Amino acid sequence: MPVELRISKTDGIAPIEQKLAKLTSDLSQPGRRSLFAYIASDRRATFFKDIWTSIALATGIDRSRDTEVIAWGLQDWAGLADIDGFALSHPSLVAMQRGVQIFTDRNPRQRLDATAVRRCISMSGGLLGSEGARYRTVVELDPELPRAAVLSGGLKARDTFFDFVRDALQDVQISSQASGRRAVNPAKNAILEWLFELHTNGYEHARRDESARLLRIQKHPYPNRSKALEHAQQLAELSEYIESQDERPSNRMFNLVEASVSDFGPGILDGFLSTYMGEAYCNKPRHEVLNRLLHDQLSCKSSDPNAGLGIGQALQAARSLDAFVSLRTGEFSLYMRGQLDDSPILKFREGPFPSVVGTHWQLLLPDKTARNDTRERRA
């Protein structure tokens, strides 16, 4: 019998993790089985839902004999180019790249035209949401579109990346009049450096045919903290972080800015263990090796002037900005709750967790620019 995965419009991270655990258990039975995945088109119920849905789907696809995806509740592909539609969502792009057929939910079912989706991404320079949207998503598809055009211009890739992310952050913040693109903030610059390093590492080490890499900058506007808490469903660490914030830090609003980087390659730990340097650590406990990779720069390219600031310094910068950080890779899930935690270290969530495909970073920053701008104007 085929295995089913159903992710409804109300499912958050915790329910998706539970369904992922059952899915991997079902697919581990003798004999590879088929997978039918029903994925809701509405993906705004909780923080990071697009990411966790794509994690679960990619993991199921890679463990199944064959997969069919149904855009749950979708009648047709009339809005294929809609950036909020299913066709351009994280799970759709990941399934499409893995050669999975995607159908609408209503009869007669219509199959998604993958060529049309790739054409849409190519024509946009690999950037979705460039005109007044609440987010910017950079899409890179292997092997046909491995470098998004929006990140490929200019003489130096680092400068192009920094300019793009600065502009995106300024665009999605609710009010950002006071600071220009190149305003100096050491902590924010460290975060930009880190995002660049994560994106570059994905390109260098996580490329594989039939895969995707995704970078997203997104704003999450709420009228108050209580509304934001409703979207942190059953994720205790995120709820604690949101509760620690001011009720309305953003000019009578509660706004958070998200930066996320996802790839669907071998994952941080398994990628490292497959290298010459990693061979010496193959018999060590996996969580200890990952902890050292994250905090001791075990694989740092110290001789490379472009190696970046390292995760340790980036976490220190994130904590100074009171940012929430989350990482899902392999069989591990980690977090840091901004200034609620005593030190800039990622903590392991209590498991066990099913092993997943790829490496997925999420960062949430409180958007306090509107409040600061208001104070400056009053002064």
Q: Do 80 and 226 belong together in one domain?
A: no
Please compute Rg for the chain using Cα positions. 20
Q: Do 112 and 147 belong together in one domain?
A: no
pLDDT range class, residue 176, cuts 50, 70, 90:
very low
83-121 tens-digit pLDDT: 889 999 999 999 999 999 999 998 889 999 999 999 999
Distance between CA atoms of 344 and 315, rounded to whole angstroms?
Answer: 5
Please tell me the predicted confidence (pLDDT) of residue 296.
Answer: 85
Give the CA angle between residues 139, 185, 232 to the nearest 5°. Answer: 55
Q: Do 107 and 134 belong together in one domain?
A: no
Mean pLDDT of the chain: 87
Range of the domain at 52: 1-123
Distance between CA atoms of 160 and 153, rounded to whole angstroms?
Answer: 7
Residue range 45-66: average pLDDT?
Answer: 94
Q: Do 45 and 181 belong together in one domain?
A: no
Q: How is residue 6 written in tokens?
A: 């159903």
Q: Do 3 and 115 belong together in one domain?
A: yes
Please tell me the predicted confidence (pLDDT) of residue 378.
Answer: 36
Strand, helix or coil for residue 220: strand
Of 89, 123, 157, which one is at a domain's C-terminal end? 123
Q: Do 289 and 243 belong together in one domain?
A: yes
Of 123, 156, 181, which one is at a domain's C-terminal end? 123
334-379 tens-digit pLDDT: 999 999 999 999 999 998 999 999 999 999 998 875 544 433 333 3
Q: Do 107 and 143 belong together in one domain?
A: no
Residue range 221-227: average pLDDT?
Answer: 90
Residue range 116-127: average pLDDT?
Answer: 95
Q: Do 234 and 271 belong together in one domain?
A: yes
Handedness of CA 91, 202, 12, 350 (dihedral sign): positive
Q: Do 70 and 153 belong together in one domain?
A: no
312-339 tens-digit pLDDT: 889 999 999 999 999 999 999 999 999 9
Helix ranges, the chain (H): 13-27, 49-63, 90-97, 114-123, 157-172, 186-205, 225-230, 236-243, 268-273, 286-295, 310-320, 369-378
275-298 tens-digit pLDDT: 999 999 999 999 999 999 999 866
Of 106, 123, 140, which one is at a domain's C-terminal end? 123
DSSP string, 57-71: HHHHHHHSS-EEEEE
Indicate if the pLDDT at residue 67 is higher than 80.
Answer: yes
Least confident of 65-69, 178-182, 201-205: 178-182
State phi, psi for 321 to the nearest 5 degrees.
-90, 5
pLDDT range class, residue 132, cuts 50, 70, 90:
low
Q: How is residue 125 written in tokens?
A: 């320079």
Q: Would you say 129 and 136 are in contact if contact means Cβ atoms under 8 Å apart? A: yes
ω into 30 cis (within 30 of 0): no
Q: Do 161 and 196 belong together in one domain?
A: yes
Q: Exposed e or buried b for every residue in 193-223, given b needs 16+ CB within 10 A?
A: bbbbbbbbbbbebbebeebbbbbbbbbbbbe
Judge residue 118's burial from the number of C-beta atoms within 10 Å of its C-beta, 0-12 exposed, 13-18 middle, 19 or more buried: middle
160-173 tens-digit pLDDT: 999 999 988 888 76
Q: Do 337 and 202 belong together in one domain?
A: yes
Strand partners, 70: 38, 103
Distance between CA atoms of 268 and 263, rounded to whole angstroms?
Answer: 10
- What's the whole-model pTM score? 0.91
Judge residue 82's burial from the number of C-beta atoms within 10 Å of its C-beta, 0-12 exposed, 13-18 middle, 19 or more buried: exposed
Q: Do 131 and 270 belong together in one domain?
A: yes
User: In the chain, how many domains are there?
Assistant: 2
Q: Would you say 121 and 128 are in contact if contact means Cβ atoms under 8 Å apart? A: yes
